[in-house]
Amino acid sequence: VKKLLVILLASLWACNPKQEKSPKLVIILSVDQMRGDLLTEFSPVLSKGLHKIQNNSLQFSNTFHNHSCTNTAVGHASISTGCNPKKHGITGNSIYNRAALSLEYAVADSTTVFQGVENTTLRKVSPKNIERPSYGDIIRESNPQSKSFSVSLKDRTSVIMGGHHANRSFWFDAESTQMISNSHYGGNFPDWAENYKGSQIMEKEIEEGWHFEVPKDRIPSFTATDSSIYESGRFRDYFPHTFDTYNPSSTSNKRVGNFLWNTPFGDKFLLEFAKTLIENEDLGKDDHVDALSIGLSSSDYIGHHFGPKSWEVLDYFHKLDHYLNDFIAFLDSAVGKESYILVLTSDHGACDIPERNDPENVAVRVSSQQYRTDLKNIGMNTMQELGLSDYPIDTMKYNGIEPNFESIRGTNIDSLTLVNALCSGLNSLYYIDETFNGFELKNRKSDKDYYGQYYNNFHQTKSLFIEFLNVPNSLINKSKNGSNHGSPYEYDTSVPLLFYGAIPKKIKMRNEVYSTDITPTLLGLLNITTSHEFDGEDIIKKYVK
């Protein structure tokens, strides 16, 4: 009987080894602007790391951000806190400060002191505006011996993914080409990160330039040509993109750093930095699970310049496929196969370049100049219509405005009348489909399309009072070329979600799930219970187990 028991236990162990080991490291890898369909669309050119992740993971193929303002700060905050902007307070890349009547950078904090470089022109940042803990914060709260780090080229991505109590968040300084940090994370800047320079690590890539490496016979048909007049940015609209053909907007002392930002090599550098961090900070080395967030950002810049279905984005993913192959091999050896969880997701999707596939020439691209002129007319008309002596618009963004409530003080006009007048002006613009204001987002249910996403995004003191929905496939931005994101349409909200590594089942799920589900699901995989509440839920427990 004893022998039988041993055999039985041994076979149980063999069948189900994952249940016995608890992960030593969890990594959220977010690829900025990786729209939900791209992994499938580009699969003909993927055979390495992305292919491996796609074919050996628990994949949720219907994953969306559930907020209206689909940009980097908001998306990452929803991923890392498991909550919607209404609760985490990051309502946009810039958030409205109703007390000060002004917009400020989502992670602004003028009290911090930079570490890692003497001088930088970057903005001073910290997580102080985030009203909820990050997944790393909760992991450290449940076990103070756990460590939490975040890295990204973008400061907002790193700071937001790291949260309040990260051991350290690192981001990229284009001038020094180094990863820097600041005094929010206390202590001294680590020696190993000093003088870790992108200009040196990526020396070969910078010298050789960015060449198209996808085998010609595997190019998907939707990316018919390399060159299109609607592609733009810092490069020519065709390969190769070299340091010499690169046209930086900024001063020459950032030229190398900006070349990295705008090519796949920025993200290659970041993955190299992440490996160095894992080694030097001993992540995944003991039984206290550690957290690491990696935010790849070059993907977003390349997407903005060339659009999601360009040869450039295709080549980016082809290169990322190789970079991640290398990164996974590193994790397998440094942490151990099945000893880590890697979550692949994104902060938002993107709109296809409207002018592509547009034989009717009806693509809607609104310049910032036109938008400003239109708003000015709405402001002047409203002033006249309500008989006001003050201009009735206080602040504007590309997805909303703040009324100047002072303009009705001492008149017999109430704020609802003012808001309705401005909304009807916005609704009359051909590129605006719908408006949502603070009254309806606070007090009432609505049957308007996309109301739920606007409701989730609306924060009492950090949102503009009037937000609007542009017409589908339209862009309101500064650029006359390229693409953008920021709407609640599916092309902007859909993102990949794949759990790779130490996970119970490797299957494909079609349930509709949200970015806010990632953190509660990760905590579930780690058996961490918490009193913090989430908008999302543990989708593995709910749908898979």
Q: Tell me which residue of 62, 75, 519, 125 sits closest to 291, measured CA to CA.
A: 519
| Tokens 């609209």 belong to residue | 237
SS (H, E, C) 449-460: CCHHHHHHHCCC
Question: Cβ closer to Zn ion: 264 or 438?
Answer: 264
Question: Cβ closer to Zn ion: 147 or 156?
Answer: 156
Question: Cβ closer to Zn ion: 214 or 260?
Answer: 260
DSSP sequence for 78-105: HHHHSS-HHHH---SSEEEETTTTEEEE
Q: How far is the CB of 187 from Zn ion (least distance, A)?
A: 32
Question: Cβ closer to Zn ion: 148 or 299?
Answer: 299
For residue 333, give every residue at least 6 positions away whose Cβ sits within 8 Å of its Cβ, in sequence order, or none: none
| Total interface residues for Zn ion by CB under 5 A | 1
Dihedral sign for Cα atoms in the order 69, 73, 75, 80: negative
Q: How far is the CB of 485 from Zn ion (least distance, A)?
A: 6
Tokens of 273: 């930095």
Say whether 107 sits in a helix, a strand or coil. Answer: coil
Question: Cβ closer to Zn ion: 106 or 408?
Answer: 106
Dihedral sign for Cα atoms in the order 456, 460, 464, 465: positive
Q: How far is the CB of 72 from Zn ion (least distance, A)?
A: 6
Query: What phi-psi label fits residue 298: left (phi over 0), alpha (psi between -120 and 50 degrees) or beta?
Result: alpha
Residue 365's DSSP bridge partners are 475
Q: Cα angle at 339 between 501 and 295, to 5 degrees? A: 60
Q: How far is the CB of 33 from Zn ion (least distance, A)?
A: 5
Q: Does an H or E element contain 203, and which? A: helix 203-208
43 neighbors 53 (Cβ within 8 angstroms): no
Q: How far is the CB of 300 from Zn ion (least distance, A)?
A: 4
Question: Cβ closer to Zn ion: 59 or 481?
Answer: 481
Question: Cβ closer to Zn ion: 230 or 455?
Answer: 230
Question: Cβ closer to Zn ion: 300 or 394?
Answer: 300
Tokens of 524: 């579930």
Q: How far is the CB of 222 from Zn ion (least distance, A)?
A: 21
Question: Cβ closer to Zn ion: 482 or 520?
Answer: 482
CB atoms within 10 A of CB 193: 21
483 neighbors 304 (Cβ within 8 angstroms): yes
Question: Cβ closer to Zn ion: 300 or 352?
Answer: 300
Q: Does an H or E element contain 370, and which? A: helix 368-386
Q: Does an H or E element contain 434, and which? A: strand 432-437
Q: How far is the CB of 483 from Zn ion (least distance, A)?
A: 9
Q: How far is the CB of 266 from Zn ion (least distance, A)?
A: 14
Determine the angle formed by the axes of helices 311-331 and 264-280, rounding to 10 degrees.
Answer: 10
Residue 315 interacting with Zn ion (CB under 5 A): no
Question: Cβ closer to Zn ion: 41 or 300?
Answer: 300
Radius of gyration (C-alpha) of the chain in whole angstroms: 24
Tokens of 307: 């659009």
Tokens of 60: 């949720």
CA separation for the pair 243, 208 (Å, rounded): 8
Q: Tell me which residue of 405, 432, 409 sits closest to 419, measured CA to CA.
A: 405
Say whether 337 sits in a helix, a strand or coil. Answer: coil
The contact pattern for Zn ion, residues 258-287, with x = CB under 5 A and - = no contact, is ------------------------------
Question: Cβ closer to Zn ion: 173 or 300?
Answer: 300
Q: How far is the CB of 299 from Zn ion (least distance, A)?
A: 9
Tokens of 433: 């489909």
Q: How far is the CB of 347 from Zn ion (least distance, A)?
A: 8
CA separation for the pair 169, 136 (Å, rounded): 11
Q: How far is the CB of 115 from Zn ion (least distance, A)?
A: 27
Tokens of 252: 């020459």
Q: How far is the CB of 202 from Zn ion (least distance, A)?
A: 22
Report 286-305 residues binding Zn ion (CB under 5 A): 300
Q: How far is the CB of 349 from Zn ion (least distance, A)?
A: 10
Residue nearest to Zn ion (CB): 300
The contact pattern for Zn ion, residues 166-195, with x = CB under 5 A and - = no contact, is ------------------------------
Calculate the CA 323 to chain-centre distance. Answer: 19
Question: Cβ closer to Zn ion: 300 or 440?
Answer: 300
What is the contact surface with Zn ion in residues (CB under 5 A)?
300
